Chain A
Amino acid sequence: MSETQKTAAPGGQTRHRMLTFHILRYNPQDPDSKPHMQSYQLEEAEGMTLFLALSEIREHQDPTLQYDFVCRAGICGSCSMLINGRPGLACRTLTKDLGTEITLAPLPVFELIGDLSVNTGKWMRGMSERLETWVHTKEQELNLDKAEERMDPDLAESIYELDRCVECGSCVAACGTAQMRNDFVGAVGMNKVARFKLDPRDTRTDDDFYELVGDDSGVFGCMSLLGCHDVCPKELPLQTQIAFLRRKMISVGLK
């Protein structure tokens, strides 16, 4: 086969599909705005992601459309939304994996900013304050001249495995309990507790962690539907972590 023939594949002059986006629109800042579905038509392009599609719609069809993208490369977690009803990162979703009718809506649970934009940051801050998601050390002053404390490399890897969470909110949006209880810390919160529990620098005991998550707003609120596990874009082992924490907390509770 000649080299030229092969180029016909990507970027070639093939006919593209016409896509219809049905987007849930609502601007809480505008007294005249009411939640409604609005449709946009867009010709698909090779390698089109929802980031590219939404940018085109905003630039060429409707400059009022609100959404959040930051890194557009699947690493910052800003753009999670309901894509055909399922939470996911819009930047990492290719239109070619969807049908020609695409429905987009903001994540539930979080405060709505407008259209597809929600305030995950505010929710995450609340969760972090409540669960005290930082390393609790005894020493107050750190001697910066000294080399860092050593940590077993395998343990460091396991901590990193849980540390990969990008706080996109997908797990919270997919959670039955979070939709009913607004104090529920979600899989994201429990994953964080599991992460700090592993960290040898953190001096908190199992009893301390029980105080944080040993009730219905924590591990005992989870109904084990595990929507969280299925939608996590980082494929964090949420199911295992929640089960592990729950066993641990039951044993603390029975003491």
Chain B
Amino acid sequence: MRKGDRQVIINSQKVTITERDEAQGLIAQRDFGGTKKWRTCYVSDGTGHAMLYTASDRAIAEGIDVHERKEAISLIHDGHRCYGAVVRDLITGELSVYLAKATALATGGAGKVYRVTTNAIICEGIGHALALETGVACLGNMEAVQFHPTGIVPLGILVTEGCRGDGGLLRDVDGHRFMPDYEPEKKELASRDVVSRRMEEHIRKGKGVKSRFGEHLWLDITLLGRHHIEHNLREVKEICESFMGIDPAEKWIPVRPAHHYTMGGVRTNHTGESQQLKGLFAAGEAACWDMHGFNRLGGNSVAETVVAGMIVGEFISDFCDKKENDIDIPMSLAQQFYDSEKAKLGSLLNSAGKENAFKLNTEMQEIMTSSVGIFRNGDALAEGVKHLQDLLKRSRNIGLTSKVPGVNPELVMAYRVQKMLKVALAIAYGAQNRTESRGAHFREDYPHRNDQEWLKRTLAFWRDGADLPELQYETLDVMKMELPPGWRGYGAKDYIDHPDTAKRQAEIDEIRKQMEGSDRFAVQDKIMPFRDKLPASLRGRNERLDEPLNG
């Protein structure tokens, strides 16, 4: 081994990485899909786990109370200011009120509105729904949803792209290898979104394999041989064994593209605060903080959670320190929200309705997967939106078969599906109205990115009593961008430019030319200053190996 070489395990695979001598002992970094530099910090095969436990240990060290098994079911607000939440105890079923100067939603993604998702089963988008249901705060870019081609069926756990990279094949119900029919050149090795789309297209043609858990296709790696699988695709073998009881050297793996990441979320400004509802903040996957656009790079999400935790956390604490943000707690308002939630749960429990909450949930998931998936078009989206609206109506007529005291899982499903349907509608309706393709949002009927008309964020509001979200659009200013939207560096140049793009690019090129030789901070300040947007305590320069801090 060369000096600086290190054997590490990444996703259960042994990899040798070479670190520069001077980087030895710092947090390890590597490259990740779509990036040119080593910029993704990692901890063996458990980066998220290591971060989560460190944060949790710190919270315990600081004596911070964590109220586990409590679910926010409604935000308390007066149309201008958020005052906290009504919370349900998931052990006793009791309701209580949390009053606060600042309320933060860090409730994660909304994967469970889809039938097949890599997400945990708690990623139900309830936080998104809470913001939406205020009727005041809004969600941004909800139609931006990322998919991954090979989730195992039915669990949705990911198997690596390495399977196809190494020569694995995709087959249909007849055992036929279908990818060459669609992509004669690249076959299984076409890009992630293309493969996902072709798989869905093939299933739509009736070529999927039916199973009790829905339709799927086969990933065949048997032809790679046992030796290769056991040495180079160990993680895949383990997943197949532990979660399907399949030996992938002998049998084909049932796969289907799976929902993976929710780019959209509660629309905030740079401090993490809602632009409409003062005192309501959002961070992490639940937020639309502009960390991601219509796609997301690997590694950026767990990075967002800690960076937003630091920045938004600091802003929240500043917010609470300011005298002008003091509140007189409006007890009558809190009581009103509490009573209203209590009444809603009561009427669900006592309803003579005939609708089954679990069934509605399954139907919603099926529609989202089939009509608002990877592969979208106007007709299917219109159909999907109508169907979801119908489900929303039916969800007001849910009846429960049991009234057991305590958490009551059926009651939980009932009030959650009512909320999830609104989130699903925000996604579907946003997708229906965005008549272009951008990032993970692909429209068969509008296959090109259209910066001229669509360089804007979708904002979805849910007004009181409405049965569809209200969409507004927030235009982006190309003249303020550091990187005006251009060619991605690969693929066809088949997008429609924004009229300002060329002008802005020329401006930036000119600045760079004029400032050649200046330090990069000066150039950054000239092109796009950002330090003033950070909390004061975080404005310092970060030390880098080649830029040591003095003193």
In Å, the complex CA distance between A144 and B68 comes to 30
In the complex, chain B residues whose CB is within 8 Å of the CB of A7: 171, 173-175, 209, 218, 252
At the interface, yes or no: A34 with Cβ under 8 Å from chain B? no
A128 adjacent to B244 (CB under 8 Å)? no
Q: How far is the CB of B344 from chain A (nearest CB, A)?
A: 19
CB <8 Å contact, B358 and A59: yes
Contact B122 A70 (CB under 8 A): yes
**A1-45 CB contact bits vs B (8 Å, 1 = yes)?**
011111101110000000000000001111000000000000001
A3 to B172, CA, bound (A): 10
Minimum CB–CB distance from A165 to chain B (whole Å) comes to 8
A150 x B254 contact (CB < 8 A): no
User: Which stretch from B399-407, B450-458, B459-467, B491-499 is at the chain A interface?
Assistant: B399-407
| Contact (Cβ within 8 A) B24 A153 | yes
Complex Cα–Cα for A169 and B425 (A): 39
Contact status B549-A64, CB under 8 Å: no
Give chain B nearest CB distance to A227 CB in angstroms. 22
Chain A residues with CB under 8 Å of B252's CB are 6-7, 9-10
Q: Choose from A47, A94, A113, A146 the contact partner of B543 (Cβ within 8 Å).
A: A146
A47 touching B154, Cβ below 8 Å: yes
B257 CB to nearest A CB, Å: 17
Q: Is B549 a contact partner of A157 (Cβ separation < 8 A)?
A: no
Q: Flag the segment in B44-52, B133-141, B366-374, B387-395 that touches A.
A: B44-52
Report the nearest B residue to A69, measured CB to CB: B121
**Which chain A positions have C-beta within 8 A of B174?**
4, 7
> How far apart are the CA atoms of A151 and B43 in the complex, in Å?
13
Q: Which of B393-442 contact A (CB under 8 A)?
A: 400-402, 404-410, 413
User: Is A27's CB under 8 angstroms from B50's CB?
Assistant: no
Query: How far in angstroms is the closest Cβ of chain A from B534?
Result: 11
**Given B26, B93, B218, B408, which contacts A150 in the complex, CB threshold below 8 Å?**
B26
Interface residue SS majority, chain B? loop
Q: Is the CB of B60 within 8 A of A150?
A: no
Shortest Cβ distance from residue B117 to the other chain A in the assembled complex, whole angstroms: 11
Q: Is the CB of A164 within 8 A of B49?
A: yes
Q: Are A72 and B120 in contact (CB under 8 A)?
A: yes
Interface residue tally for chain B (C-beta within 8 Å): 75
> Which of B66, B93, B171, B408 has the most chain A CB atoms closer than 10 A to its own CB?
B408
Q: Are B6 and A153 in touch, CB under 8 angstroms? A: yes
Q: Chain A residue with minimal CB distance to B245?
A: A94
Please choose the segment from A129-137, A177-185, A244-252 that sits at the chain B interface, where 4 or more of its residues have CB less than 8 A away: A129-137
Inter-chain CA distance A27–B402, complex, in Å, is 13
- A99 beta carbon closer than 8 Å to chain B: no
* B517 interfacial by beta-carbon distance below 8 Å: no
- Note all chain A residues with C-beta closer than 8 A to B408: 64
Pick the interface stretch among A101-109, A117-125, A203-211: A117-125
The answer to whether residues A163 and B540 also contact, given A4-B174, A11-B209 and a CB cut-off of 8 A, is: no
Given known A6-B252, A45-B212, A64-B408, contact A96–B402 (CB-CB < 8 A): no
B521 within 8 A of A: no
Is A70 a contact of B246 with CB atoms below 8 Å? Answer: no
Cα–Cα distance between A63 and B537 once the two chains are bound (Å): 50
- Which of B49, B92, B121, B244 sits near A47, CB closer than 8 Å? B244
A164 to B44, CA, bound (A): 10
Contacting pair B243 A30 (CB below 8 A) = no
Asked whether A73 is an interface residue with its Cβ less than 8 Å from the other chain, the reply is yes
Q: Which residue of A lies closest to B246 (CB)?
A: A10
Q: Does B27 contact A (CB under 8 A)?
A: yes
Q: Known: A10-B254, A76-B120, A150-B24. Contact between A64 and B410, CB under 8 A?
A: yes
- Measured between C-beta atoms, what is the minimum distance from B250 to chain A in Å? 8
Q: Which residue of B lies closest to A46 (CB)?
A: B211
Contact A75 B542 (CB under 8 A): no
Q: Give chain A residues whose Cβ lies under 8 Å from the Cβ of B57.
A: 128, 133-135
Q: Which residues of the other chain, B, contact A226 by a CB distance below 8 angstroms?
A: none
Complex CA gap A135/B397 in Å reads 53
**Min distance, Cβ B538 to any Cβ of chain A, angstroms:** 7
Closest chain A residue to B53, Cβ basis: A163
- Residues of chain A whose beta carbon lies under 8 Å from any beta carbon of chain B: 2-7, 9-11, 27-30, 45-47, 49, 51-52, 58-60, 63-66, 69-76, 91-92, 94, 96-97, 113-114, 119, 121-122, 125, 128-129, 132-135, 144-148, 150-153, 157, 160, 163-164, 166
Nearest 4 CB-CB pairings of A with B: A150-B25, A29-B406, A63-B410, A3-B175
